[in-house]
Amino acid sequence: MTHTYRELVLGGVLIAPIVTYAVTALLMFLLLRPLLHIVGFARLFSNASLAELSLYVAIFGLLGLFF
Amino acid sequence: MQMNATSTVTEAQPLVFAGFPASSWAFAIRVWLASLVALYASFWLQLESPSSAAITVAILALPTRGQGFEKAGYRLLATFIGVAASIAIAGTFSQTGGLLLAVFSMWIGLCVYAAGMLDGNRAYAAALCCITVALIAVQQIDSPLQVFPSGVARGAAIAIGILAVALVNDTLGAPDYHPVLAARLDALHHRVMDFAQDIAGGEASSAPIAAGMLRDIAALRPEITSLAAESSSGAARSAAARSAMVDLVSVLFLTRALAALPATYTAGRPADRDIGASGLIKMCRVWLRSEIIRKNADARSSLDALRAGTDPIRQWQAPLYRSRRIAAESGVRAAIYFALAAIFFVMAGWPNTEICLSLVGVIIGLGSTAPDPRGFTIQAVLAMPIACLLAGILKYFVFNGVSEFQLLAIGLAPIIIGLALLISLPNRTLSLFGRLTSVFTLVVLAPTNPQSYDPEVFLVACLFACLSSVLVFAAQLLLPSLSGDRRIRLLLGEARAELNGMNAGQIHHLAPEEAAFRDAARIEQIMTANDTSACHDQVVVEAMRCFDRAAILRRCSAELGRLAASPLADAARAAQDALTLRNGRAILAAAEALRTAAAESNRFANSALAVLVLASVAFGPSQPATGSSHRKQP
């Protein structure tokens, strides 16, 4: 069965699902940042920035998969 | 424009190729790769304006990740606001002729005013709000129904550009900014401590040297905010760097206060009172030394927190000083420049001039973020023909009809890499020139799929691009932009007015340390204004005197405020009254009365006494007009 994506409608303007996922993932990532700082996420990886980008991509992918 | 971080990064890297350090080459190659990724994704997604994605990459071409991310965030936000404003303006005022142009001028003036009230990438965001309106609403002036689709197309292209920069910077290990900033703050800390040691050793306090250090400290403020975007510990690093800056300004103020303190107080008063005053001065000197040591320890601890990525022990705000008057004058001028260009095109009656008018808006907007808008316009006038030439060579000699992406990638490499190397130079003029040429080349080249090779379209685009910069320059000749001298006069006037209106009893929403940093930011603006007058040193001395006096008054207010609920309240109130008179002798007498009251009630009021002594010296008759002390310490 094909996964159906629902479009967000703002004032009659249809927003593509990929944009909604990208923005939601960004907001979730920003909300997670204080927690990442507390657990010392940056110290766990040699390339912390790439790890953070990967985390964002993972959140984005999960949103696309389940919603 | 951002400060260039590459120069500092490369100090530890001796590898140099063709005169440029390896880090500059890495930066240039990252910019090229990000441009290609942005263009490829835009072509693949069949976006309407793929060149906007490449231009976004050129604009976000900053040597470190944090700086790029922060600018990217503000670029996205400003595009959103600009598109909303474009829709509102086009929807309300289309078909109104001159009124529409007047509204565009007012919007540009408003954005330039907002840019004048902000700093760093926030100012860029304010300028971008006006640029977005210029690129969307002004370009679609005759077809308002296209405003929304072109706004969406621009937003999509910018988002692709930002994603390309983020991907390339993260995967290719673009350097972080915090080590560069820590090194610069460290160097400033050493300079400030050397200055303090010289003063403690009996050397004179030079106002220009102190003002130079305040300028260098306050100049870091816009860059510190970019640390927050760098990583999950970025917010903590940013807070630590902010606290270190504020502590360094406090150390400088305390050091200057120590230098201004006389050996003994001899103001023609009775001998027994002179003995009392000398005791107060001695106590004040001891307090100042201990405060300097304490603040130095705070600054060192904040620097350690910056390196470790932890929260500092004490967090300070680093407020920005901005003159509303200067911002308003710049805003009005910007609105007039745009209106003059619009009137010129209306009178000329040429076709297709909306592109040229939109570029006028772009140059005015970008110029508002530069310290010298006139100098920026001159750079734009020089960069525009060079950009047209480079784009022409690329289009008609290198590509010459090809449409393969691989050839586009190879053809763009020398120009994008070469200009990115220029951007990475520590020389600000050359760096700005490189950035402008890089952006304008992509604007004129306008890579699309399929690529257009119509020479007529290209020549008209070149002509309009050059004409737009010349028109802004001509408008600035008719109505010169705010001169450095006038800026300084306004800033000094505001400093004096603030000092005169300062009341010792009033409650301040900022801590004295934070307010001192705000004053340091004003001194930075005075120092960086393009002053052509011969009396620059006197201006600096006067600015430093206002800085010292305002900082002392705020400290007095804070310390006396603490005593308001104690048995020393009456003596504290008397001291506040004396401070209102700005009379050194009355202040010293109030300090002596406070000391007596403190001794009688067995209370500790050394901090309040010390700052009152400083106030008595600052407002005393022996205070030299130059504001710098040349007395040797005992």
What residues of chain B lie within 8 A of the CB of A47, using their CB? Answer: 173
Is residue B461 within 8 A of residue B69, CB to CB? The reply is no
State the pLDDT confidence band at B352, using cuts at 50, 70 and 90: confident
State the pLDDT confidence band at B530, using cuts at 50, 70 and 90: low
The CA distance from A19 to the nearest CA of chain B, in Å, is: 10
Residue of B232, B233, B310 for testing the chain A interface, max A β-carbons within 10 Å: B232
What residues of chain A lie within 8 A of the CB of B230, using their CB? Answer: 49
User: At residue B183, does pLDDT exceed 90?
Assistant: yes
Q: At B17, which helix (H) or strand (E)?
A: strand B16-17
The CA distance from B390 to the nearest CA of chain A, in Å, is: 35
Separation between Cα atoms, residue B327 and residue B621, nearest integer Å: 37
Nearest by CB: B231 against A22, A34, A48: A48
Give the CA angle between residues B81, B86, B90 to the nearest 5°. 155
Report CB contact under 8 Å: A50, B171: yes
In this complex, is the C-beta atom of B171 within 8 Å of any C-beta atom belonging to chain A?
A: yes
Say what the pLDDT of residue B627 is: 38
What would the mean pLDDT of B392-419 be, rounded to a whole number? 87
Separation between Cα atoms, residue B337 and residue B331, nearest integer Å: 10
Say what the pLDDT of residue B625 is: 41
In this complex, is the C-beta atom of B179 within 8 Å of any C-beta atom belonging to chain A?
A: no
The answer, as to whether pTM is greater than 0.80, is: yes
Q: Six-digit token pair at B214?
A: 């305040």
Q: Rounded to the nearest 5°, which phi and psi values hold at A13? A: -100, 125
Separation between Cα atoms, residue B337 and residue B133, nearest integer Å: 16
Name which residue leads in pLDDT, A42 or B122.
B122
Nearest by CB: A42 against B167, B169, B309: B309
Report CB contact under 8 Å: B232, A41: yes
The CA distance from B570 to the nearest CA of chain A, in Å, is: 47
In this complex, is the C-beta atom of B233 within 8 Å of any C-beta atom belonging to chain A?
A: yes
In chain B, which among 48-107 make CB contacts under 8 A with chain A? 65
The CA distance from A30 to the nearest CA of chain B, in Å, is: 9
ipTM field: 0.81
Owner of token pair 């008057």: B325
Residue pLDDT, tens place only, B463-496: 888 988 999 999 999 988 888 888 899 999 999 9
What residues of chain B lie within 8 A of the CB of A36, using their CB? Answer: 232
